[in-house]
Structure 1
Amino acid sequence: MGDEVTVWMDASPDEVWDLVSDVTRIGEFSPETFEGKWTRGSTGPEVGASFAGHVKRNGVGPTYWSPCQVTACEPGKVFEFAVGTDAVTVNNWGYRLTPRKGGTDVTEYFRLEGNLAMRAYWLVLGPLRSRTNRKGMRTTLERMKAVVEGTSQ
């Protein structure tokens, strides 16, 4: 119950890290999350830090804020966060950075939690949502690539 997309970027893991771990810049890259802000006194990436993403699902419909908490934070390697409340995690999103050929393979991934409601959701809407998520992850990574490689307009 998840998926991932990898894009190679002509940049070091540390350069890419600065983009994937700065939640305040997500609006520059994501087709669905158009802004992000640190919350609950958090000011930057570290395990346990809280932030919220302002989302417009599929770019249409009403907007909502998704509370998130950083669950893995290794500079230059991985940035992962849980989406949901303090009591219930709906899914996890993250970025893995792997040095390769003088640049970095950047993998964006998501993983749904295994509760019964999510399993039912994935059984019914999984194929459609997975395509949408894959397209969104590719768009996000390609936009990051343009910025980190200095080719954005």
Structure 2
Amino acid sequence: MEREWVVEESVVVGVAPEAAYGVVAQVRRTGEWSPECRAVWARRGALVAGERFVGWNRKGLLLWFTTCRVTVAEPGREFAFRVGALGLPIALWGYRFEPAADGGTVLTEYWQDLRTGRSRRPAELLGLVFSGTRAEDRAGVNRAGMRTTLERMKAALER
């Protein structure tokens, strides 16, 4: 099986893009939705491009943290951040907010594997040690996690 480097999943939510962004970009709430991220430490909830935060993750008995930097923070349009561990680039995660025909929002979560080049092998080893997931399997794990995350976000947004 060929390795996937990019994964996207989408859901339609019954709120406007600006409202969806306002909730999703509150990184401290990530633990409410993600099946892997349990908590986020950030100086404040809604971050701007360039700001950093720490994600605390758990899979089974394994616990680990990642350092993150917001790369895109465009209210109502897109929110994205780069993830690293021990100084190695791991992934780019993000959300796009597009108007839906019914007045709601097409909310898309995306992930790109950044474990390439000279740091590829050490970063892949970190992923295996900390998450228990082989690099070749990470896209499938993330796709399933995205579906769960998006359904939980949808429920929270439409309450």
Instruction: Sort the TM-score into its range (normalised by shorter chain).
Output: 0.7 to 0.9
Q: Closer, same or farther in 2 for the Cα pair 1:5/1:75, shift >3 Å?
A: same
Amino acid at match of 2:92: N
User: How far is the alpha carbon of 1:79 from its aligned partner?
Assistant: 0.5
Return the offset for 1:66.
0.7
Q: Does 1:7 align with 2:16?
A: no
- The answer as to whether partners of 1:91 and 1:112 remain within 8 angstroms in 2 is yes
> 1:28-68: CA deviations, max 9, x gaps?
100000111115xx663101010011001xx3122111110
Q: Which runs of 5+ in 1 are unaligned?
A: none
Distance across 1 between alignment mates of 2:32 and 2:45: 19
Indicate how the Cα distance of structure 1 residues 72 and 86 shifts in structure 2: closer, same or farther if over 3 A, else same: farther
Aligned residue in 1 for 2:48: 46
Find the aligned partners of 1:14 and 1:30 in 2 and give their Cα distance. 21
Residue 131 of structure 1: CA displacement?
1.6
User: Against the structure 1 CA distance between its residues 43 and 26, is the aligned structure 2 distance closer, same or farther, given a 3 Å change threshold?
Assistant: closer
Give the match for residue 62 of structure 1. 62
Runs of 4+ deviating beyond 6 Å: none
Aligned to 1:105: 106
Q: Structure 1 counterpart of 2:67, which letter?
A: P
Hey, what does 1:74 align to over in structure 2? 74
SS of corresponding position for 2:108: strand
Correspondence 1:32 to 2:36: yes
**SS of the residue 1:65 aligns to:** strand
Shift of 1:85: 5.4
Query: Partner of 1:63: helix, strand, or coil?
Result: strand
Which amino acid counterpart does residue 51 of structure 1 have in structure 2? F
Opposite residue 23 of structure 1, the aligned amino acid is V
CA distance in 1, matches of 2:141, 2:87: 27
Task: Structure 2: give runs of 5+ residues left out of the alignment.
Answer: 125-132
Q: What number of residue pairs does the alignment pair up?
A: 145
The answer to whether the 8 A contact 1:5-1:134 is kept is yes
Among candidates 15, 20, 23, match of residue 24 of structure 2: 20
Q: Which residue of the other structure, out of 148, 152, 158, is the alignment partner of 1:139? A: 148
